[in-house]
Amino acid sequence: MKKNIILIVVLCAIVGAIFFIESKEAHPTASTTPAVTVTLPTFIATSTTPITIDHTGDYLAKEITDPSGFINTPGDLPITLSQYIGKKVILIDFWTYSCINCQRTVPYLEAWYTKYEDQGLVVIGIHTPEFEFEKDYNNVSAAVKRLGITFPVVMDNDYGTWNAYDNHYWPHKYLIDIDGYVTYDQIGEGNYAEDEMKIQQALQQRAQILGTGQTISGGLVNPTGADSDIEAGSPETYFGSSRNEYLGNGTQAVPGSQTLSYPQTIAPNTLYLSGTWNFVDEYAQNTSATAGIKYTYSAKDIYFVAGAPTPVTVDVIQDGVKVNTITVSDNKLYTLVQNPTAGTHTIELQVQGAGLQAYTFTFG
């Protein structure tokens, strides 16, 4: 009888200790955007020698939130991250199609998708638009095709997934392992060798956990035509009234029509316009039959995000010499000049006809 009483007392003490310890554990704060639910295959859970990954410093991935459309998915039907958790390694990339930095990242994303898809990698592009025209499904679909993207793309027009990740940059890659944890992320261009080695490591862990015995391909991709020269001294320069702080010869941050002319001297990294321009939130549109744009920049290349309701011809003059002529129609990124090396140059765009919608200059 005494032994039974002692046993009951010991059991009560153990239960009490467990309850006390659990009450002291830190619990995550509830979020309006739930983390991805991790469901591993049954045979993993019942394995007699389970393999675990140290997730110190990692955090659970967030699910795709409020998507607006899907491209390159089976039947262009919805996908979720949760359908891949426990099965795949996921690389998501926040991008937008008129961003030159995003475009230069695409060859690497596509090369990794091609190289590692059969070894357990899925790449998902989260297309979060910077400009209103980038919300159009047909525009995004055409850009995906033009850029040669074959991996799935999710349209994030309402910034649902962007906000779920508290993201602030284009491009921004997040690597999610088989357990559903974000183990690595990379802002902007560059560091491609480190990116790929992190992918290989996550795939090796996946192969061990699933017990596939699969050998993960080594080496590093070197995509044909990829441009890794990302240095630029000039800032991205916007034309629209909401962000035209570099406008040098007009009134900044004010919507409406302004008739402008070039000053005698121009300062570097400053936007100058000639002709009559109507400023709206995202762009400036010339309403005069002829118009011009001048800008002294420091970079290797210069790009122009623009569009026009009807085609407009633009002559590109660099340092007083005509170097290019473009026809602006579709809303997209146009290449103005690609120089052999970086340097300081003055570019002038001579606009032949009304209707050019100028969004931004970007550099590389």
Domain borders along the chain are: 42-210, 237-363
Q: How far apart are CA 322 and CA 303, in angstroms?
A: 16
Type of residue found at 204: Q
CA dihedral in degrees (265, 267, 269, 274; nearest 10)?
Answer: -30
Note every long-range contact of 339-342, with CB atoms under 8 Å and residues 24 or more positions apart, other chains counting.
339/300, 339/301, 340/300, 341/300, 342/229, 342/231, 342/232, 342/233, 342/298, 342/299, 342/300
- What confidence tens digit (pLDDT) does each residue in 245-268 have? 999 999 999 999 999 999 999 999
- Reply yes or no on whether the pLDDT at 355 is more than 50: yes
Average pLDDT over residues 159-177: 98
Q: Is the N-terminal amide bond of 255 cis, ω within 30° of 0?
A: no
**What's the pLDDT at 47?**
41
- What confidence tens digit (pLDDT) does each residue in 62-102 have? 999 999 999 999 999 999 999 999 999 999 999 999 999 99
- Reply yes or no on whether the pLDDT at 30 is more than 80: no
Coil, strand or helix at 267: coil
- The percent of residues above 70 in pLDDT, for the chain, comes to 85
Tokens of 320: 């007083």
| Average pLDDT in the chain | 89
Q: Provide the CATH topology of domain 42-210.
A: Glutaredoxin (3.40.30)
- Reply yes or no on whether the pLDDT at 358 is more than 50: yes
- What confidence tens digit (pLDDT) does each residue in 209-237 have? 999 999 999 999 999 877 655 566 899 99
Coil, strand or helix at 102: helix
**What's the pLDDT at 231?**
61
- Do residues 276 and 257 lie in contact, with contact meaning Cβ atoms separated by under 8 Å? yes
**Beta strand pairing status for 59-60 and 256-260?**
unpaired
Q: How far apart are CA 291 and CA 147, in angstroms?
A: 31
**What's the pLDDT at 52?**
79
Type of residue found at 218: G
- What confidence tens digit (pLDDT) does each residue in 97-134 have? 999 999 999 999 999 999 999 999 999 999 999 999 99
CATH superfamily of 237-363: Galactose-binding domain-like (2.60.120.260)
Q: How many CB atoms lie within 10 A of CB 69?
A: 18
**What's the pLDDT at 211?**
93
**What's the pLDDT at 49?**
55
**What's the pLDDT at 184?**
97
Q: How far apart are CA 351 and CA 284, in angstroms?
A: 13
Q: How far apart are CA 186 and CA 171, in angstroms?
A: 8
SS (H, E, C) 115-155: HHHHHCEEEEEEECCCCHHHHCHHHHHHHHHHCCCCCCEEE
